[in-house]
Structure 1
Amino acid sequence: MKKTRVISSAMLALVFGAACNDNFLDRLPQDRLSDATYFKNENDLRIYANRFYTLVPAQTFNSDNNSDNFVPRDRNTFLAGQYTIPNTGGGWTWTNEREANYFLARYERADAPAEVKAKYAGEVKMFRAYLWWRKVVQFGDVTWFGGDLNENSPELFAPRTPRGTVMDTVLKDLNYAVANLPVPASAEQDRVNKDIANALKARICLWEGSYRKSRGLAGATEWLREAANAAEAVINTGNYAIWSNGNPAKDYVNLFLQEELRGNREAVWPRRYVKDQSMHNTTRQISDIWPSYSKDFVEGILCDDGLPIGLSARYQGDETPELERTNRDPRYQQLIVTRDYVVSQNADGTADRVTLPRIPAITTGYASAKYKSPDPVQWVANQSTLDLFIIRYAETLLIFAEAKAELGEASQAVIDQTINKIRDRVGMPHMKIATLQKDPNSIFPTLPVLLDEIRRERRVELAQEGFRFDDIIRWKAGTLINNPKTIVGMKLTDALRAQYPASQVAGIQVDADEHIRVYTDITNRTWHDKLYLYPLPLQEMNLNPQLKPQNTGW
């Protein structure tokens, strides 16, 4: 059984008090930590920094529901144009940012070597960079403040800082973290290190660089270069590799069903769980809900000859689920539940297997197999001990490939070093730049073929890991949501319908091509450009009129 030091929310609950002015009571609190008595040594710095470790999320089973990849039973209100401006909250909260600034204003008090203090400052600056980046992703221009505030701070009533200026500060924080965090071999176990900082920097810089490029904003090339360099720094360490046990039909799905990711070379940054100490509910939730892929996503998966379905003679059509899965990228059957999929591996050695897609419980018929453990022990509510990824090496390789392609520098050597390493796990043919053909059904018809195929590889490999909506935003590709195939499911022919009990399929409607309609009151969604940003809450804008104007369209 794995053992670890668990960083829990309970041990992070530090409350800082201020001394009273009354002479009789002018002493430090005796029952809690105070500003005046804290930040004395390395342990104080470590414990304070612990609070930020839960802020960067691991992947979750429903993290792509707000995209063209999945069709949730309840329509996503944001993409449906039904999101209303909140009165308060809505992501416009700054507690974590203030706590980071609070630390950075005081950490140098500690009686510790300069390099130790710089290490913990690097941790907190890395997390602060992440926090401010997420604010920029959500709101665009946001108010930057570099110190901890009080009720009299002028920043509370300042206008928003231009997003570019905020992102420049984010990059400075990331560079400080990379420079001051230790390499993994020297780092304390389960704490962030230089490789994690570089991998996170690569993620953020790719987002910013492609966001600027898609909108013709200055600085795109510089940010893409930073992304490529940070990803390459991780690659060049030689510390990481694509995990494989030599079983192309199972290795991809099994990567996400491991109880111990420590030592797995694909785990740049894992989130680890331990029985009776730190557990999660993802495995139970996916067993109950079974997220459903869209027809659009399924049609984007290549055939096993490396060609898209619109070009491959290997494609068998979609008259039945069995035909549709035939001759496809092996990730197809590791992402999507089809006939004979093992739902439960029973203690007596028997297995419960899928016979037909479980519609309408699975809205589209394309149930997700990712994170779905066949071990009933993992299904107990809030008792799963399967580790999850925060950053895995495949993402870093995909960042490097995309950034180099955007820069016009994606040689065959780059593709062999990245895309083809990922494909080797599942036995897919290598991508060859010289023989790439433009998909006639491409969702990016004007994109150069190499970049189009890199985006496809990213979509499939990182499905259900929480990147897709961010990708749509940074590429300025919101109109992908308009495609009717993003909200329909598998083909339900009369012949297939006849295999189900009549009562089970009586209420299921299909479109003109016999694809399951999940939302029977609409045939497509309509993208509005205001959705590239969220609105600021009304109460905050009333309290600080300098935050106006509201984001465009809201």
Structure 2
Amino acid sequence: MKRNILYIILFSAALQSACNKDFLDRQPPYAYSNESLWKSQGDAQAALNGCYKDWEGDYTLLYMDAVSDNMYSQYYWEGYTDYGNGNITPANTSASKRWSYTSIQKCNWFLENVDKTQMDETLKTQFKSEARFLRAYQYFTLTQLYGDVPLAKNTVTTEEANTISRTAATEVRKFVLDELAAIAPTLPVSYSGSDVGRITQGAALSLKARLELYDKNYAACIADCKKIMTLGYELFPNYQNLFRIQNENNKEVILDVQYKENDYPNADIGVMPSSSFGGWGSLDPTQALVDAYEMKNGKLITDPTSGYSENDPYNNRDPRLTATIVCPGQLYEGKYYNSIQNTSGDYYNGDNNSKTAYIPKKFTSNLSDYTDMWNTGLNMIVIRYAEILLTYAEAQIESGIIDNTVYDAIDAIRTRAGMPAVDRTVYNTVDKMRTLVRRERRVELALEGLRWYDVQRWKIGTAVRSGTVYGARLGTVDPTNGKLTLSGDHIAVEQRTFVENRDYLWPVPQAERDINKNLTQNPGY
């Protein structure tokens, strides 16, 4: 698909809205070209490629964990700080740009016009299914963030956009499920060549399973996971290398956003490293996330028999910790990272440095992979097979069915990372297995944009997203060997509040309600 990216750029320019500030991209200025556009399969494919632009992006995937207890976003103008600390209001939502119907309007326009094209009908059906998936994905995301949202199944005029009301989230989500069920059989299991990265049958089933898990429809979720397990996906053998650019489109990846250096770049890798590595330190992992990782022997750090030491806290931990987060004293890019000593260029209190003293490593484990980390071709994974295994395990656990398949699914993920298999003498009840699978989801999928949705659906916001956000302990790092000498307290980064009956949903942007008086507001805002 990367060879088709230029089509996306060129065609998307023709798919931009003519009006400003309304919740929908209004009457598109491309209508004049309808008669001349739909003449060939190439025309239809160019139009479909335009639909792929803006359906999801590296920025939103990276920043969503800052809404949760996993990350802190230190620059409010980047759009996510106030969502994370509970200070968001309807008036200051514009930076996140999540209330958007751009992709939906493009897909609706494509679906209304593609039948004019003389082309192979089977391929045309596939093209339609791809567009229907992209639209369904947007509606899934909108309902997760805002609850009730307008459901537009066709292109919307200016007048309609100014008066349309919110549709119940249950109805919108039923529409999404129905769409995914209908299109899955019409999509290929895989692609080759320049089509790699397009929507597959596995992507449709995986999004369906994700929604079913979130909505506690466990039986349907289990059935879809079992279908996905027959499609040939498998865990990539090395957890850290899974996220490197040379290993993209591997057999673990079910759905990703495709990028191409220079033409359609992933331009946000640089927000993660701190200043001495040329980055901004924008997204900072929290101490709470670091503490979630077990010891390498499979015991919790709170277990007095685990071997954990507060003075050597990163030693003998789950290998996914140092594959995901650069901790003080860790060898990174040829030097021992030192963010806890005020003589260091990466000191937490310096400009463009992480305020928690931790920086993400998951997508930057080797900065030499990129000629320019602000202009990369690194694809961003949206769904991967490890999530499906965890989804299956959770759905089984919540159904009260804890059999060997549940342990096997979790064990596959743990042993791939270098962790021991689940101790079945310890994790032998629904409550204990629920705790385990929730922790596995957190550490396995950390920094991939899913943690907030887990906090939201488990209703644990008050417990995990209120109070003080902490970073690493202060001290010194020996530059010759990385040895830590910790003598200070943990860094206090920010205070967060969480209102139980308000903060599980985001506010509808006031700018949209000023235009459309029929848009109601979520409770508490």
User: CA 1:282 to 1:437, structure 2 compared with 1: closer, same or farther past 3 Å?
Assistant: farther
Alignment correspondent of 2:431: 448
Rounded Cα–Cα distance in structure 2 between residues aligned with 1:240 and 1:16: 34
Give the 3-state SS of the residue equivalent to 2:196 in structure 1.
Answer: coil
Contact map agreement 2:326 2:332 (CA 8 A) in 1? no
| 1:491 matches 2:478 | no
Alignment correspondent of 1:534: 506
Q: Percent identity?
A: 25
Rounded Cα–Cα distance in structure 1 between residues aligned with 2:227 and 2:418: 27
Match of 1:166 among 156, 172, 175: 172
| 1:180 matches 2:186 | yes
User: CA 1:122 to 1:451, structure 2 compared with 1: closer, same or farther past 3 Å?
Assistant: same
Equivalent AA in structure 2 for residue 436 of structure 1: Y
User: CA 1:335 to 1:149, structure 2 compared with 1: closer, same or farther past 3 Å?
Assistant: closer
Alignment correspondent of 2:519: 547
Alignment correspondent of 1:82: 87
User: CA 1:372 to 1:540, structure 2 compared with 1: closer, same or farther past 3 Å?
Assistant: closer
Provide structure 1 residue ranges, at least 5 long, that are not aligned to the other structure: 18-30, 210-219, 245-250, 345-350, 439-446, 501-508
Q: Which of the pair has more CA radius of gyration?
A: 1
| 1:333 matches 2:322 | yes
Equivalent AA in structure 1 for residue 316 of structure 2: N
Deviations 1:188-242 (A, max 9, x none): 43322212222222223322x1xxxxxxxxxx43xx33332222212112x2211
Alignment correspondent of 1:212: none
Q: 1:400 deviation in Å? A: 1.6
Give the 3-state SS of the residue equivalent to 1:516 in structure 2.
Answer: strand
User: CA 1:354 to 1:537, structure 2 compared with 1: closer, same or farther past 3 Å?
Assistant: closer
Contact map agreement 2:328 2:477 (CA 8 A) in 1? no
Rounded Cα–Cα distance in structure 1 between residues aligned with 2:65 and 2:465: 17
Alignment correspondent of 1:213: none
Alignment correspondent of 1:64: 65
Equivalent AA in structure 1 for residue 228 of structure 2: V
Match of 1:311 among 303, 307, 317: 303
RMSD over equivalenced CA pairs, Å: 3.2
Match of 1:477 among 442, 460, 477: 460
What is the aligned length? 482
Give the 3-state SS of the residue equivalent to 1:280 in structure 2.
Answer: coil
Rounded Cα–Cα distance in structure 2 between residues aligned with 1:528 and 1:35: 49
Which one has a larger percent strand, Structure 1 or Structure 2? 2
Rounded Cα–Cα distance in structure 1 between residues aligned with 2:66 and 2:435: 22
Counting only pairs closer than 5 Å after superposition, residues 43-442 of structure 1 correspond to structure 2 as 43-54=42-53, 55-58=55-58, 61-74=62-75, 76-86=81-91, 91-153=98-160, 156-184=162-190, 188-207=195-214, 209=215, 220-221=216-217, 224-237=218-231, 239-244=232-237, 251-262=238-249, 264-287=250-273, 288-290=279-281, 291-311=283-303, 313-319=305-311, 323-338=312-327, 341-344=330-333, 351-354=334-337, 357=340, 358-360=346-348, 361-376=353-368, 378=370, 380-416=372-408, 418-436=409-427
Q: 1:316 deviation in Å? A: 2.3
Provide structure 2 residue ranges, at least 5 long, that are not aligned to the other structure: 17-29, 274-278, 341-345, 480-486
Rounded Cα–Cα distance in structure 2 between residues aligned with 1:87 and 1:327: 43
Deviates more, 1:388-397 or 1:166-175: 388-397
Alignment correspondent of 2:22: none
User: CA 1:340 to 1:185, structure 2 compared with 1: closer, same or farther past 3 Å?
Assistant: same
Contact map agreement 2:133 2:199 (CA 8 A) in 1? no
Deviations 1:359-402 (A, max 9, x none): 32332233322222434462625333444323221122222212
Q: 1:70 deviation in Å? A: 1.7
Alignment correspondent of 1:216: none
Rounded Cα–Cα distance in structure 2 between residues aligned with 1:381 and 1:326: 29
User: CA 1:338 to 1:93, structure 2 compared with 1: closer, same or farther past 3 Å?
Assistant: closer
Deviations 1:262-287 (A, max 9, x none): 3x211223444445444333433322
User: CA 1:338 to 1:165, structure 2 compared with 1: closer, same or farther past 3 Å?
Assistant: closer
TM-score, with length taken from structure 1: 0.78
Rounded Cα–Cα distance in structure 2 between residues aligned with 1:388 and 1:498: 33
Rounded Cα–Cα distance in structure 2 between residues aligned with 1:134 and 1:383: 27
